[in-house]
Chain A
Amino acid sequence: MRRWLLWFLVVPQGFLLLGILQDLGLPSLDMAVLACLYLAFFAERSALPFLLLGVAIGRTLVDEASLPIHILVIGIPVALFLPLRGMFVAQRWLWQAVAAALLAIAVPKLAGLCGRVFDQPSVSSTLNAWHVLWSALLLPPLVSLLRHLPPFSAFTEPDGLTRPTP
């Protein structure tokens, strides 16, 4: 119970924290992409629906679209990447960088698509090349750090992208 409380307390505020860091001049990163990467590759599978809800709530704080749109925008890439969790184990960093770049493209594109279909357009549907680059470079190390810190550590699956022991 405590881990859920911590998740819903901390993760939504992460979106605002990244905003503060961005205002301070740090490279612009999308918390939604970071969360997608964590959920797809490291998070406990059975906990995914409500982990996703926490992330979507956070995105609602910074984006004008409604909560269900954010559930779709974050949840669809997670659902697509989840079956690939066991692959590319030997090329962990490269694979994560590629996945982060793909997610940095997919999330705004999906936001644009959902915005058009459900008439809830938002500013986050603009694709930014710098976002893609910074996501590929910074998100894999950031995720590997975060998954050892609470509240992420409480939901990290032990088999998530670890090298098989001989």
Chain B
Amino acid sequence: MAKKSAAFPVGLYAMLLFALAWLTLPRVFAPIERWTVGSACLVPRVASAWFGSPALAADRESLAQINELSTNLLKRVEQHDFAGAGASMSAGDRQLRCGVLSIGRRGGAGLPSELLLDHTYRELAGCREIVTKGDVLLGFLMKPGVGRAVDDTLDDPARVMLCNHREAPRLYAMLKNSDGSQLRMVVEPASTVDPAALRVDFWDDPYRAAALKETQQSIYTLPVEYGKERVPGGLLVGRTRRWGYEGEADEAPLTIGMFVTPAVDARALSHVVVWRAGDQQRSFSAPPSSLRSPRRARATVYDLPGATHGRHLLVCNEHVPDGAAVVQDGLFLGTARGLSFGAGLVTSFVASRQAWNLLVMPEGEGGAPIELHARVERAVGSVAWLRLSGVPLERLARMGRSYLFTGSNGQHCPAGLWIGLAEPAAEGFNVLKVTVPGATGTRLAEVFVGEKVQ
């Protein structure tokens, strides 16, 4: 019996099961981690008093440059996100740029199909249902208390169902053939196992559709009304992906299914545009997001031993939320994990392996910012190689040296924080080489802590 109990360590297995429960309900057990790891940080925190005095890395000139870059980025984002759809909307409709807090719920092709915005339903009251980006139709604003948003209240972040959401309305759309003829169709959300997020359900002329030779054709909405809402015409839905058999020699190809790849990859979204109806009585003003406060708290960053690995100790007088962006002189250092006793642990951008939403702004005037979804694949010193997904390859192929900024990465990591310089890597189109201005030693920094809880 004694031997059996020795070979079967119940306590150890219980701890492993506890860890699994912890991962399943992270919010319930988060205080344990904050407290235990915060306690372990007390020793390096006490020792940090001898690590030297905080230093500012950037001079005023560089700081002004960074601020100018960030302002320029947001201006360009607005310019390009607002362009395009205007002609399709009613005269007098006004645009409002919203940040994306999170992306979730698998829809067509197993891709995310729901967005949470950094504005509440109350802040977006009176807005039209459709959500766009440039001339692209992204999806539809949900209503609190209805359907998927049945448990939402007016003060919750507004929810957007993308076109590949299971409950998204079907779209009346058309494609233009190279001979100038049109094919009209009804597009609906695909299933999670389908090869693309949307699929064509009905054609107005199935015989012509079966003989389609081309692929990657643009599909645009046709005006239609569903209920009290209206989908305007002329908005880009996506590009076709033909499923079928190639004809041999003179034989015509046989199309047995047509899927539609959305024009924008939802995983990379940082900003979307909602439309406030022009006939609304209230005066239009873009309300500041109450969910994403720009309030920053002062903090000090200390390099932990082996700082080349990008781990830092953060000392702050305020509560640091998990995932809060840490900024030093306008430069994005990384995100923090908040701990007890006024401490936090920061993983620098280069050392992190999490998925990031990023914005790339090409050098030079007027280039459209590109939204990316990427992960650091490897890093040497302060240079990182990013593996990109959801990339508009045709735009990236033309990209030269650019500025890299954070995209929208949760409530406490807003878009527009400068990370470093990016350039295409030799490894391929979907790899980006990023050089981050490196600095070591004790530094003054700021943490995005959000509003104080009253």
Contact = CB atoms under 8 A, between A and B. Distances in A.
A115 B376 CA distance: 14
A136 B378 CA distance: 25
A9 B347 CA distance: 23
A66 B304 contact: no
B16 A45 contact: no
Given A23-B308, A53-B15, A118-B23, A64 B40 contact: no
A69 interface: yes
B146 interface: no
Nearest to A9: B43
Interface stretch (A54-62, A95-103, A144-152): A54-62
A68 B20 contact: yes
A64 B337 CA distance: 9
Question: Chain A: interface secondary structure?
Answer: helix
A57 B11 contact: no
- Number of chain A interface residues as a range: 35 or more
A121 B351 CA distance: 11
A67 B33 contact: yes
Interface string A43-77: 00110110011000110111110111101100110
Nearest to B345: A61
Given A121-B353, A123-B309, A123-B351, A67 B16 contact: no
A35 B192 CA distance: 43
A62 B304 contact: yes
Contacts of A120: 354
Nearest to B41: A61
Contact of A49 (B6, B7, B11, B32): B11
Interface of A: 8-9, 12-13, 16-20, 22-23, 45-46, 48-49, 52-53, 57-58, 60-64, 66-69, 71-72, 75-76, 78-79, 82-83, 115, 118-123, 125-126
26 contacts: A8-B40, A12-B40, A13-B40, A16-B44, A16-B305, A17-B305, A19-B304, A19-B306, A22-B306, A45-B6, A49-B14, A49-B15, A53-B15, A58-B40, A61-B44, A62-B311, A64-B347, A64-B352, A64-B354, A66-B26, A75-B12, A78-B12, A79-B12, A118-B23, A121-B354, A123-B351
Interface of B: 6-7, 9, 11-16, 18-20, 22-23, 26, 29, 32-33, 36-37, 39-41, 43-44, 304-311, 337, 345, 347, 351-355, 375, 378
